[in-house]
Amino acid sequence: MTDIEREPWRDLDLFAPTPEHQLLAESLREFVVREVEPQAADHDRAERFNHALFLKAGDLGLLGVTIPEEYGGAGLDPIAAVQVLEALSTSDPGFGLAVLAHSILFTQNCYVNGNEEQRKRILPKAVSGEWIGGMCMTEPGVGTDVMGMATTATADGDDYIITGVKTFITNGGIDENTLGDIFIVYAATGPREISSFLVEKGMDGFALGQKWVDKLGMRASYTTELVFNDVRVPKVNLLGEIGEGTKHMMRNLEIERLTLAAQATGIAQRSLQVMTGYANERKAFGKPIRDFGQIQRYIAETFAEWRSARSFVYDTARRINLANTGQRVDADATKLFAAQVGKRAADAAMQVLGGNGYMGEYVVERLWRDAKLLEIGGGTLEAHHKNLTKDLCRDPSLLS
C-alpha cells in the first residue's frame, strides 16, 4: 500500500459518508426487499397509494430524515434524503414520489419556513406518517410560470380567504374519497406577490377535486385537483411572513429537484441490474446476448451515465443548504441530467430484454413509464435549461 492510499480522506464513501448514513442504507435495503418490492407491481396496476406501507416508512423514520430529532425526525441531512428516495425508486418510484411530496415538499418546507408553534404542532405528526402532506403550486392554467398563479388569499379579520384550484397535487388524496391531511398552498396576496399557507383537511370550502386516473406512470401515488372555495384559513396558518412565498418555493425547489434526481438514479440502478442479469441468462444464436456488441453498448453506456449522475447527485447533496437557496445551478443540473439518464436507462433495459422488457413482469416497463415524470415534475427540462443558462451567463464564477 502506498502513502497516498493510506490518506484517510480517501476512505470517504460518497454515498454513505458517516456511520448514520451506512445504517440508513442498510435499513433501506432491507425495507425495500421485504416491504416495498412485493407490493410495487400491484399498486401500480391498481393505481393505488399504499397507505399501510407509508405508515411503515414512518415507523422506520424514513419520512423525516432531514427533520431535527426534537420534532421526531432523524436529524440527518440532504444525503440521507437522497438515499431514501434513491433506494425506494429502485423498486417503486410511484411510492417514492408520494414519500417525496410528503417529506420534502411538505414536511421539510414546513420545518424550514414555519414558526415554532407550527413546527411543534405539525412536524411530529408528519414525521410519523399520521398526517399526510403535500404542496400546492401548480394550477390548471399555470405550471412553469408560477408568478402567474390565479389562486388568491385575501385578509379578512383574523383569517385569510383562499380561493382557487390547484392541480396535479401529489398526495392530494389518500384514496378516492379521502383528502390528504395538510398542505402548503401558494397563493397570490398582491400583484406579483405570493405567500404560503397551511391548509388543513376539515377547513370549510377545502375539497378534493378530481383524481387523475390513467397516468402514464407514478401510479402508486395519488395525483389530484384540490379546490379552495373561499377557504377561511386562520392567520396562524400563514407560513413565514406575507409575501415570502416565492422565497419558500425557491428554497424548497433545490432539495425537491435533488431528490427527484435521486429517484432517477434509483431507476437507472435497477434498470442496470435487470439488463445485466438478463444479458447473462438469455441466449441467441448460440451464445449469451452479453456477447453482442450492441447489447454491450446499452449496458456500458448506461453504467457510465448512472455512475456520473449518481456522483453528481451525492456531491450536490453534500453541498446543498436546506435552510436557504444557493445551489440552484447544481440542483437544476442534477435533475436535468439524471432525469434523462433514468429514462434512457429504463429504455436501454427494455431494449436488452426484447419482448420480455415490454411486459410488466420484468419491472423495466414500469420504470420506463415512471421515469418520464422526472422530466416534467418539479420543473420541466426546459425550465432547467432556462434557469441554468440565466445563472451561468450572469455569473462566470460558477464556471471557475
Ligand X SMILES: Cc1cc2nc3c(=O)[nH]c(=O)nc-3n(C[C@H](O)[C@H](O)[C@H](O)COP(=O)(O)OP(=O)(O)OC[C@H]3O[C@@H](n4cnc5c(N)ncnc54)[C@H](O)[C@@H]3O)c2cc1C
Cα(169)–Cα(185) distance, integer angstroms: 10
CB of 195 to ligand X, least distance (A): 15
CB 261 within 8 A of CB 313: yes
Cα(222)–Cα(362) distance, integer angstroms: 24
Q: Which of 22, 27, 115, 144 is in the footprint of ligand X by CB under 6 A?
A: 144
266 binds ligand X (CB under 6 A): no
278 binds ligand X (CB under 6 A): no
Cα 331 to Cα 5, 169, 223, 261: the distances in Å are 32, 22, 24, 9
Q: Which of 65, 218, 363, 367 is in the footprint of ligand X by CB under 6 A?
A: 218
143 binds ligand X (CB under 6 A): yes
Task: Find the part of the chain contacting ligand X (CB under 6 A) among 18-26, 134-142, 248-256, 390-398.
Answer: 134-142
Q: Among all residues, whose Cβ is closest to ligand X?
A: 143
Cα 38 to Cα 92, 135, 232: the distances in Å are 10, 29, 43
Phi/psi for 228 (5° steps) reads -120, 100
Identified catalytic residue from 254, 256, 305, 375: 256
Cα(345)–Cα(339) distance, integer angstroms: 10
Residue type, 194: I
Q: Which of 28, 101, 122, 345 is in the footprint of ligand X by CB under 6 A?
A: 101
197 binds ligand X (CB under 6 A): no
CB 206 within 8 A of CB 172: no
Task: Find the part of the chain contacting ligand X (CB under 6 A) among 70-78, 136-144, 284-292, 349-357.
Answer: 136-144
Task: Find the part of the chain contacting ligand X (CB under 6 A) among 39-47, 189-197, 345-353, 377-385.
Answer: 377-385
Cα(217)–Cα(333) distance, integer angstroms: 23
DSSP output for 62-131: TT-TTS-GGGTS----HHHHHHHHHHHHTT-HHHHHHHHIIIIIIIIHHHHHS-HHHHHHHHHHHHHTSS
Q: Which of 72, 134, 245, 266 is in the footprint of ligand X by CB under 6 A?
A: 134
237 binds ligand X (CB under 6 A): no
By beta-carbon proximity to ligand X, the closer residue of 252 and 269 is 252
Cα(78)–Cα(112) distance, integer angstroms: 13
**Does residue 256 have an active-site annotation?**
yes
* Torsion of the alpha carbons at 366, 349, 375 and 178, rounded to the nearest 10: 10
340 binds ligand X (CB under 6 A): no
By beta-carbon proximity to ligand X, the closer residue of 263 and 265 is 263
16 binds ligand X (CB under 6 A): no
By beta-carbon proximity to ligand X, the closer residue of 25 and 253 is 253
Task: Find the part of the chain contacting ligand X (CB under 6 A) among 64-72, 122-130, 133-141, 359-367.
Answer: 133-141
Return the C-alpha cell found at 25.
442504507
By beta-carbon proximity to ligand X, the closer residue of 105 and 258 is 105
96 binds ligand X (CB under 6 A): no
DSSP output for 317-386: HHH--TTS---HHHHHHHHHHHHHHHHHHHHHHHHHHGGGGGSGGGSHHHHHHHHHHTTTTTS-HHHHHH
162 binds ligand X (CB under 6 A): no
342 binds ligand X (CB under 6 A): no
Reported in sequence order, the residue ranges of 176-276 that DSSP labels E, i.e. its strands, are: 178-179, 182-190, 193-200, 206-211, 223-234, 238-239
By beta-carbon proximity to ligand X, the closer residue of 237 and 387 is 387
Q: How many residues bind ligand X (CB under 6 A)?
A: 24
Cα(201)–Cα(174) distance, integer angstroms: 12
Q: Which of 42, 69, 281, 382 is in the footprint of ligand X by CB under 6 A?
A: 382
376 binds ligand X (CB under 6 A): yes
373 binds ligand X (CB under 6 A): yes
Cα(220)–Cα(212) distance, integer angstroms: 12
383 binds ligand X (CB under 6 A): yes
223 binds ligand X (CB under 6 A): yes
Q: Which of 57, 162, 169, 188 is in the footprint of ligand X by CB under 6 A?
A: 169
Task: Using CB under 6 A, list all residues that contact ligand X.
Answer: 101, 105, 134-138, 143-144, 168-170, 215, 218, 223, 373, 376-380, 382-383, 386
* Residues assigned a catalytic role: 256
